[in-house]
Structure 1
């Protein structure tokens, strides 16, 4: 399988399309070129703060027009994962207000942390207000038998100027350590998000490229479901532990390679 055979693209967001409040170089141009050539594409995000609607608005604001249907977020999949395993339940939502609202809209019943004993599940997303009280309530609930879900296990997510914020995984690890229970993980590298992206694109897995900057989530997960994997590696740091099908330094380089490999007459347009 080569880049020339790819018929649909799934792009990670944090660290691939954007970093903090800015698009990465070449992102808008590559997306626009793929759309002009009628290649289906979707943005496949491990986001645990915001769902697809908010992410689509942010893409549009930054210069890549997008609708909710163009984005698949782990944030949006966690409610279904809980429902598939437990039905509609009382739970603790350790995350943003948007996470609690999404779970409630799906039929679950978020509880205040002082009612942790009643929780049948604990869902951990990225939580800017995470503190000792939330950690105590979540870990006690899980240790008492509540089923533990994490939107993702990303330790960090990139923000502007090469900095990072602690990710959902950092908070989930704190709960897991205190409760001595490992979570059920919804996002990458687990298959649910990749399978949703493939279905949305309407291509077979081997004709779909997963483009991302995170070897452990984007590349490992994409390979596990048979996707063509493209690793965005701005600063090479030795031999990767997982081999992508293609490594590029930037989206500008990926754009150039895609144009060079196309068999269509307008390949240089």
Structure 2
């Protein structure tokens, strides 16, 4: 099992790993306290396309956790950085919830509601997704706009099941426009991995990724040299592991098992 000294940075997915809906999952508080008590770093890595770092921090604090802004890495935040670094003069037509535009504006990226003026179509989770939005997005792409997607997640876990996520909307636009997606920002892409390394300030083999999705969290580690731990409180289950070529280094039922042996030994010495 994992020992606290094995890694310098413990990176946790959020939905299905830290919480589901507004419920904190088992073992979260004690696990985070233990990691920090040993002088190790914590990162919260989410593919969320409708949470800024500030909102993510506030949500975690409402659930009773103590968080620093620099510990949070959201796909939405990295998407805004992507445009700032690689397409600072972009004019972006947004298919997504309101926070997407807000985060782009924080990085001085211009958005437009006129498809003919768009250089890029950006797709995130969109609760108001409609026929008109598909039409506007495809028309922008017909005019030469590139198709950028905040994350590759088709669904998101909620307390009573699942809801459609970003890739469900992006695929509709991809099919309608006849144009392949140009860039995906979220886990498990190279861009996300590179930014996580920059923010973590350590080598890839000193980072552990803990998450509930094989195709994003575990694949992020497998493709970029991070160790991985699958937690069975979200999307993936044991049967999925047997069927998939994506294999985690470790597997636990919930976060209370991550350092169970070490915590029990410390308690016995008190």
Structure 1 length-normalised TM: 0.91
Per-residue displacement from partner, 1:1-27 (whole Å, max 9, x unpaired)? 965522210000011111111111111
Give structure 1 regions of 4+ aligned residues with deviation exceeding 6 angstroms: 265-269
Alignment check: 8 A CA contact 1:73 1:193 kept: no
Q: Please identify, of 203-212 and 2-11, the stretch whose mean Cα deviation from structure 2 is larger.
A: 2-11
Q: Using the alignment, how far apart are the partners of 1:175 and 1:267 within structure 2?
A: 57
C-alpha spacing 1:37/1:116, structure 2 compared with 1 (3 Å): same
Map 1:157-172 to 2 at 5 A.
157-161=156-160, 163-172=161-170
Q: Using the alignment, how far apart are the partners of 1:67 and 1:192 within structure 2?
A: 23
Per-residue displacement from partner, 1:57-101 (whole Å, max 9, x unpaired)? 000110111132110111001122224333322120111211111
Partner residue in 2 for 1:105: 106
Q: Please identify, of 53-62 and 179-188, the stretch whose mean Cα deviation from structure 2 is larger.
A: 179-188
In structure 2, the gaps of 5 or more residues are none
Partner residue in 1 for 2:216: 217
Q: Report the alpha carbon displacement of residue 28 of structure 1 after superposing the two structures with TM.
A: 1.5
Q: 1:226 and 2:230 equivalent?
A: no
Q: Using the alignment, how far apart are the partners of 1:268 and 1:128 within structure 2?
A: 52
Q: Report the alpha carbon displacement of residue 104 of structure 1 after superposing the two structures with TM.
A: 2.0
Per-residue displacement from partner, 1:135-187 (whole Å, max 9, x unpaired)? 110122113210110000100111113x1111011111111111122221000
Per-residue displacement from partner, 1:192-230 (whole Å, max 9, x unpaired)? 223322332322110110000000000111221110111
Alignment check: 8 A CA contact 2:16 2:157 kept: yes
Alignment check: 8 A CA contact 2:75 2:186 kept: yes
In structure 1, the gaps of 5 or more residues are none
Q: Using the alignment, how far apart are the partners of 2:179 and 2:263 within structure 1?
A: 48
Alignment check: 8 A CA contact 1:72 1:193 kept: no
Q: Using the alignment, how far apart are the partners of 2:152 and 2:11 within structure 1?
A: 20
Q: Using the alignment, how far apart are the partners of 1:225 and 1:242 within structure 2?
A: 13
Q: Using the alignment, how far apart are the partners of 1:258 and 1:247 within structure 2?
A: 17
Map 1:1-269 to 2 at 5 A.
3=3, 5-112=6-113, 115-161=114-160, 163-183=161-181, 184-234=183-233, 235-237=237-239, 239=242, 240-257=244-261, 259=263
Q: Using the alignment, how far apart are the partners of 2:205 and 2:166 within structure 1?
A: 30
Aligned length, in residue pairs: 263
Q: Using the alignment, how far apart are the partners of 1:105 and 1:166 within structure 2?
A: 27
C-alpha spacing 1:172/1:27, structure 2 compared with 1 (3 Å): same
Q: Using the alignment, how far apart are the partners of 2:133 and 2:73 within structure 1?
A: 28
Q: Report the alpha carbon displacement of residue 266 of structure 1 after superposing the two structures with TM.
A: 8.0
C-alpha spacing 1:76/1:8, structure 2 compared with 1 (3 Å): same
Alignment check: 8 A CA contact 2:222 2:228 kept: yes
CA RMSD of aligned residues (A): 2.1
Q: Using the alignment, how far apart are the partners of 1:119 and 1:267 within structure 2?
A: 62
Q: Using the alignment, how far apart are the partners of 2:14 and 2:57 within structure 1?
A: 11
